[in-house]
Chains A and B, each alone.
Chain A
Amino acid sequence: MLEARRGRPTWERRLLARLLSHHLTAFVIPGLEVAHACGLDPEAAGLSPAATPRHAAVLLLVGEVPPSLAHAAAVVYAQMPRPRAILAVGTDSPPPLPGASVTVPAMQEDLVAAVQQLRAVMARNAWSTELSAFDADHAPPSDGASPGKHGAQTEANSHDMHLDRGTAGGVHGQTPPLEGVDKPHHDQAEMAAGHAMPPEPGTHQHHHHLMEEHGGHVQPQEVDHVRHEQEMDHVAHTSAGEDPGDGHKHLHHREHEGGFMSMVMMTQDLPRSPDGLPMEWLEVPFGPLFPGLPGGLALTFTLDGDTVTRASLTQSAVARGLAATWSGPVSGFPTRFARLDPLAGDAYRVLAVRALEAMRATTVDRTLAWSCIGVMERQRALSHLTWLASFAWLLGDRWLRARAISLLQRLRGAPDVDSVARLRPGVDRFVDRVRSMPPLRWRLQGVGGFEGADTARLRGPVARAAGGDEDARTGDPLYHDLGFTPVLRHGADAWSCLEVRLAEMRQSLDLMVAAGALSAPDLDTSMVRDGTGMATVETPRGRSTLHLTVSGGLVQTVDLDAPSTYNMELLQTVTFQQEVSDALVGVVSLDLSPWELDR
């Protein structure tokens, strides 16, 4: 199946289709980082990653795409120009997306084969006369009311969490009051439906100030923007007018006879920038699907020009989307629990194993503990490398990205401790070189700073980049035997975060070698029938604690305390009054995993 262009497949179109099938660009869902974490390299398979769906021919679905992300994926898919196709790797294409053209398991060889297959499909079917328009989930504009569909969508997102100064409890700068911002945020679905549904005047928060000036008299007027949009939309569809909104009926002019309204009065309600200029602020979504940011992280910036005045996270589209599968027999629990986060699956597997083990045993099983350390440190190194690859994408540093991906693959392919030990010199050279690159330092130093933030609440590398001696490993006697000391930096900015992660990567290789085990921890769960268990491990993103209750051999309750929930509180701090790209660097430096956020 392929979404073709409209037209009879004439010979020249067939020829063109053959040629264009050779150059395929892909928009990756949930994100490139998931592909890398799954051991896939789309680029090596011949799919160059696109930064926007406009430049993509293939929607590449990787790993498990939770149903809650499907709507965003469908929107992105709708924005791709035809001919377009879906390639599903290790997953199915969830509705409302159409079925995938090619579906393969999540292996690099399969991906390579799938791309060849996709080329053949594209070469054959790029043009067709029998087409149906793809509709992300909207009712056709004509009937206007399809309450079932919209109702469901709205409800699905109605518990959108809006993290702002009121609820986050994090550190905030001072933001001047902005009209409309403190009102509840309209959920995405309703906004999305805005142009299909009849507009409800007064319910949409964004009003556009319109000024009419006539004979020296000025009258500000608020116009419901969505309705306004709709009229314009209509025009845009029907004519390619020269003027935006040509033929659009003029809004009635009200003449105000009484007094003269000065520019000062007109602009007094507008938000003020630090330099005192009244400007309109613009809310720009950067996610849930924004290449460079972790897929699923629904970040929204309120921008004053190119500067962020406020950052908010809507409910993470992927947050614990698979939590429903957790309860069930104990035996498969670690595997199921590992699916929580494709970016650090092994870390959560280890966490689950340790919690179950705590339930079972009175004495520590040292073999198990060593293999837990080996797996966890391997995961840490992989996770940091994956992060580095995304980070380099955002920075536009091609060399860094290519090196990170190549190291990632070599480490992932390393079958035993010896081959890991052989990787060590290469990693050393890489780390030293990255740390000694002045342009990178200039780029990152002072960006995404969170100096003075409450480090006690932070977790993982982020806390350690601010000098916080926060590491669950320090309390572990086995780590103590290995001579482990946490990596600390004091810059509390993006550069320190990078340095901590680079140093930890190197350290993790040593720990892996010292632990001498790489295989997944094997736990005999048949003994675990009833009880409660608790475990704390240092995942790549920080300390994570799991409480489990099991009865009758079934997992009953699962209570996870994950690091990203805490580090997310820095969101305002690292973005406030930063230029967009710096704000994004700050957010990515926190290495939030949208998968483990519980909201």
Chain B
Amino acid sequence: MNLWLLLLILAGAYLVAVIENWVVTGRLRLLAPLLAGIALLGRESLVPRLPDRLLFETAPPLLLAAAILSMAVLPLAPGTVLVDLATGALFVNAALAYVMVAVVMAGWGPDAAYAMIGGWRFLGQLVAYSMLIVMPITAVAMRAQSLVTTAIVSSQAPLPNAVAQPLGFLLFFLAAMAVAFLPPFDLPTASDLADGVFGEYTGARLAILRLARLVLVLSLATAVTVFYLGGWLGPLLPPAFWTIVKTLAVAAVMLLGGRYLPRTRSDHLLEWSWKLGIPLALVNIFWVGITLLVVQR
């Protein structure tokens, strides 16, 4: 079963790629991501001179591993989850922290100015988004009385968290986009840095990075689904179907949102998240605390 789940993750990542291609080019082509991947594999995989070879080589697999691990604890259906960890919600954060590590490594590794600026930019981005990932998840855990992801889904049976904690949902959604450096938060891979941290990667290494990014988007869309949209809960249809549909819808909204927005300025991102985001996240915790004390469910 585990193998099937892994294949499902890859299939999901492929669908995300199809959606992304559709958003970027405006045409829905099912084979485009496959051809793009093959085109990457068929090209030379160059290593810039004088790199920190260790960091340069570690970054792509680390990014992929981080994305897959964060995905591993998110359930598809009751009982259908790769690893039903007792600290699942915390583990998602832990795995996502290594996304930043991989990006910073990819920025530093090639000894190229654009990439390096992109890498350190992303660390700044982490300082902005990180609290907005963990604080809303705490509020979700308060309601579920558990860090187990399946328990979090079950706790939403009366009402999905997106309705019960709208503020947390909004903050988490935006922060999730920032984690996956999707537009408008694509600061590390920005066009104003000639693709930044991805810029010096070619061939197979770039293919791995792109794959990792897709899995990451999928993982964050699943996280939004599981933590806020009631995961597998839904009428009539089988639970797995609901998770998949919700996840793809969230991924599509994430990808589509960036189409209409210019890239955020890094200083704005930091300012907004600390002067607005974190106070709102605290308000969210306060709000959830009160409702749980009063309503008790």
> Residues of A at under 8 Å CB distance from B?
5, 16-17, 19-20, 22-24, 43, 48, 51-52, 54-55, 57, 81-83, 126, 229, 232-233, 236-237, 240-245, 282, 284, 290-292, 303, 305-306, 392-400, 402, 437, 439-440, 442-444, 447, 579-582, 584-585
For residue A225, give the distance in angstroms from its CB to the closest CB of chain B.
12
| Residues in chain A near residue B195, CB distance under 8 A | 51-52, 54-55
Evaluate contact between B184 and A57: CB separation under 8 angstroms.
no
Given pairs A19-B35, A392-B262, A447-B265, 12 additional interface contacts (CB within 8 A)? A5-B43, A16-B42, A19-B42, A54-B202, A83-B43, A243-B54, A396-B263, A398-B259, A443-B262, A580-B193, A581-B266, A582-B265
Evaluate contact between A244 and B203: CB separation under 8 angstroms.
no
A447–B203 Cα distance when bound, in Å, is 37
Evaluate contact between B35 and A399: CB separation under 8 angstroms.
no
Q: Which of A16, A22, A81, A290 contacts B202 (CB 8 A)?
A: A81
For residue B149, give the distance in angstroms from its CB to the closest CB of chain A.
33
Evaluate contact between B261 and A439: CB separation under 8 angstroms.
yes
* A16 to chain B: closest residue by CB: B42
For residue B254, give the distance in angstroms from its CB to the closest CB of chain A.
14
Does B59 sit at the interface, judged by CB under 8 A? no
* B24 to chain A: closest residue by CB: A398
For residue A22, give the distance in angstroms from its CB to the closest CB of chain B.
5
* B111 to chain A: closest residue by CB: A244
Evaluate contact between B191 and A396: CB separation under 8 angstroms.
yes
Evaluate contact between A306 and B50: CB separation under 8 angstroms.
no
For residue A505, give the distance in angstroms from its CB to the closest CB of chain B.
19
Evaluate contact between B43 and A19: CB separation under 8 angstroms.
no
For residue A371, give the distance in angstroms from its CB to the closest CB of chain B.
37
Evaluate contact between B43 and A81: CB separation under 8 angstroms.
yes
- Which 8 A/B pairs are nearest by Cβ-Cβ distance? A81-B44, A396-B263, A23-B39, A395-B262, A20-B39, A20-B42, A397-B262, A52-B194
For residue A447, give the distance in angstroms from its CB to the closest CB of chain B.
8
Q: Which of A22, A54, A291 contacts B200 (CB 8 A)?
A: A54
Evaluate contact between A54 and B201: CB separation under 8 angstroms.
yes
How many pairs, one residue from A and one from B, have CB atoms within 8 Å of each other in the complex? 154
A22–B32 Cα distance when bound, in Å, is 9
Given A244-B50, A284-B113, A396-B183, verify A581-B190 contact (CB < 8 Å): yes
Evaluate contact between B53 and A580: CB separation under 8 angstroms.
no
Evaluate contact between A396 and B32: CB separation under 8 angstroms.
no
Given A23-B35, A581-B192, verify A306-B25 contact (CB < 8 Å): no
Interface residues of B in 214-270 (CB under 8 A from A): 258-268
Evaluate contact between A54 and B46: CB separation under 8 angstroms.
yes
Q: Which of A19, A81, A126, A306 contacts B203 (CB 8 A)?
A: A81
For residue A95, give the distance in angstroms from its CB to the closest CB of chain B.
24
Evaluate contact between B260 and A23: CB separation under 8 angstroms.
no
For residue A20, give the distance in angstroms from its CB to the closest CB of chain B.
4
Does B213 sit at the interface, judged by CB under 8 A? no
A242–B58 Cα distance when bound, in Å, is 12
| Residues in chain A near residue B47, CB distance under 8 A | 240
| Residues in chain B near residue A237, CB distance under 8 A | 49
Interface window among B68-76, B88-96, B114-122? B114-122
| Residues in chain B near residue A443, CB distance under 8 A | 262-265, 268
Interface residues of B in 22-70 (CB under 8 A from A): 23-26, 32, 35-36, 38-39, 41-47, 49-54
For residue B11, give the distance in angstroms from its CB to the closest CB of chain A.
20
Does B160 sit at the interface, judged by CB under 8 A? no
| Residues in chain A near residue B121, CB distance under 8 A | 306
Evaluate contact between A57 and B113: CB separation under 8 angstroms.
no
A48–B32 Cα distance when bound, in Å, is 12
For residue A265, give the distance in angstroms from its CB to the closest CB of chain B.
28
Does B206 sit at the interface, judged by CB under 8 A? yes
Evaluate contact between A579 and B263: CB separation under 8 angstroms.
no
For residue A455, give the distance in angstroms from its CB to the closest CB of chain B.
26
| Residues in chain A near residue B263, CB distance under 8 A | 395-397, 443, 581
A82–B39 Cα distance when bound, in Å, is 11
Q: Which of A23, A82, A244 contacts B36 (CB 8 A)?
A: A23
Evaluate contact between B117 and A306: CB separation under 8 angstroms.
yes
| Residues in chain B near residue A580, CB distance under 8 A | 117, 192-193
Q: Which of B183, B199, B258, B265 contacts A579 (CB 8 A)?
A: B265
A34–B145 Cα distance when bound, in Å, is 60
Evaluate contact between A81 and B262: CB separation under 8 angstroms.
no
11 interchain pairs, CB-CB under 8 A: A23-B38, A48-B25, A52-B199, A83-B42, A244-B53, A244-B111, A394-B192, A437-B260, A439-B261, A439-B262, A443-B262
| Residues in chain A near residue B45, CB distance under 8 A | 81
For residue B48, give the distance in angstroms from its CB to the closest CB of chain A.
9
A19–B264 Cα distance when bound, in Å, is 36
A585–B114 Cα distance when bound, in Å, is 16
Given A237-B49, A291-B191, verify A439-B184 contact (CB < 8 Å): yes
Given A396-B262, A443-B262, verify A229-B43 contact (CB < 8 Å): no
Evaluate contact between A242 and B194: CB separation under 8 angstroms.
no
A237–B51 Cα distance when bound, in Å, is 11
A282–B35 Cα distance when bound, in Å, is 39
Evaluate contact between A396 and B190: CB separation under 8 angstroms.
yes
* B194 to chain A: closest residue by CB: A52
Evaluate contact between A440 and B38: CB separation under 8 angstroms.
no
* A79 to chain B: closest residue by CB: B46
Evaluate contact between A57 and B39: CB separation under 8 angstroms.
yes
* A53 to chain B: closest residue by CB: B194
A290–B190 Cα distance when bound, in Å, is 13
Most buried by B among A19, A52, A83, A447: A52
